């Protein structure tokens, strides 16, 4: 008789409070200064509901992101998307800042924001993978 060992899921990496505060500053700067998103879109991208506006304000005020695996993974993908856009459009800051909000033929004419809204975290993965392929990775 075969025995099976259950595979344990990896624990999320532990980040210090200072690191998580840095993530909060980086993601709110990305949303506010670069992508110029409203609170509803920012909350959606972070996987938070619309009643979490105070959470977003706390992040803007420099409070650290929680030690939440889903939230940290989303932030990682969002910052990865931003990095890819900076590499793809080094001479076109308008395009890299507006890309999330522009209709895109690669997504059936939908905006990348719409893809993220429809599919959640897997949507962010789709967006990041699309940009990585465009970069040749």
User: Which H, E and C letters describe the chain, residue by residue?
Assistant: CCCCCCCCCCCCCCCCHHHHHHHHHHHHHHHHHHCCCCHHHHHHHHCCCHHHHHHHHHHHCCCCCCCCHHHHHHHHHHHHHHHHHHHHCCCCHHHHHHHHHCCCHHHCCCCHHHHHHHHCHHHHHHHHHHHHHHCCC
pLDDT at residue 33 tops 70: yes
CB atoms within 10 A of CB 131: 21
What's the confidence (pLDDT) of residue 7? Answer: 54
pLDDT at residue 126 tops 90: yes
Q: Which of 2-6, 62-66, 124-128 is predicted least confidently?
A: 2-6
What's the confidence (pLDDT) of residue 6? Answer: 52
**Residue 63: which pLDDT band, with cuts at 50, 70 and 90?**
very high
Nearest-angstrom CA–CA distance, 22 and 35: 18
Torsion angle defined by CA atoms of residues 15, 48, 46 and 24, in that order, rounded to the nearest 10 degrees: -50
**pTM for this one?**
0.87
* Extents of the domains making up the chain: 17-134
């Amino acid at each position: 008789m075969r025995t099976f060992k259950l595979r344990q899921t990896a624990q999320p990496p532990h980040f210090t409070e200072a690191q998580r505060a840095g993530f909060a500053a980086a993601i709110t700067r990305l949303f506010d200064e670069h992508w110029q998103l409203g609170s509803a879109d920012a909350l959606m991208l972070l996987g938070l509901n619309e009643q979490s506006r105070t959470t977003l304000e706390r992040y803007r005020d420099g409070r650290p992101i929680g030690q939440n695996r889903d939230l940290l993974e989303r932030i990682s993908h969002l910052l990865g998307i931003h990095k890819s856009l900076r590499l793809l459009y080094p001479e076109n800051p308008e395009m890299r800042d507006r890309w999330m909000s522009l209709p895109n033929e690669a997504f059936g004419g939908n905006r990348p924001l719409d893809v993220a809204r429809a599919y959640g975290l897997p949507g962010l993965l789709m967006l990041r993978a699309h940009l990585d392929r465009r970069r040749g990775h």
